[in-house]
Amino acid sequence: MRKKERYEKVIAWFQENVPVAETELHYNNPYELLIAVILSAQCTDKRVNMITPTLYKDFPTPEALAATTPEVVFEYIRSVSYPNNKAKHLVGMAKMLVNDFQSQVPDNLEDLTKLPGVGRKTANVIQSVVFNKAAMAVDTHVFRVSHRIGLVPDSCTTPFSVEKELIKNIPEELIPIAHHWLILHGRYVCQARTPKCATCGLQMICKYFCNTYKVTKEESKAKNK
């Protein structure tokens, strides 16, 4: 299957079967989402959602978070991964928001990645979710699913190379929702250890499925007519 055709069929399937796809992190404003995304690094959204309500309540503004210490924040987030580093990042992020950005979350990659705890992936999530920009955040789910389906070649060995390939081939207006399509598909269907191929609607479009189960080109074409 040619790359263009695969992208078209994958997008069409998601549009029909997953018309609504959005972040599973709970938040009420850009500042809260920034906190949640920083906490979600190498941690589940479910765990993050368990601890953020109290954090949001006690530190409702960047000023409030900037005025506390990492030691205090640690007690709120001790159940997430790497709580020491994340506590320092959260306080440092809040201070920079207050001092450099008038307490507003920036809307561009350059400024976002200046914030402590914010790398390219986190910045792209904020740009996409908050500002609806054509930014593709590549986490482990997006990286895995993109390779398995065959949206990116094996030569894409870094998150950045996967990001560039996806952005090049997905229509700009669909990139924000496509980010969630791939994440949710990786989280619930195309799982790392035991992908649910038997019930996956992308079977005959998927490079991994066709190779694993020895699907011939003729069978794939017949199924995809």
Give the Cα separation of 101 and 88 in Å (integer). Answer: 19
Q: Is 210 labeled as ligand-binding? A: no
Q: Is 197 labeled as ligand-binding? A: yes
Q: Is 43 labeled as ligand-binding? A: no
Tokens 């030691």 map to which residue? 71
Q: Is 206 labeled as ligand-binding? A: yes
- Enzyme catalytic residues: 121, 139
| DSSP annotation string for 191-206 | -SSS--GGG-TTGGG-
Q: Give just the sign of the alpha carbon dihedral 197, 202, 125, 168.
A: positive
Question: Residues marked as binding for [4Fe-4S] cluster?
Answer: 190, 197, 200, 206
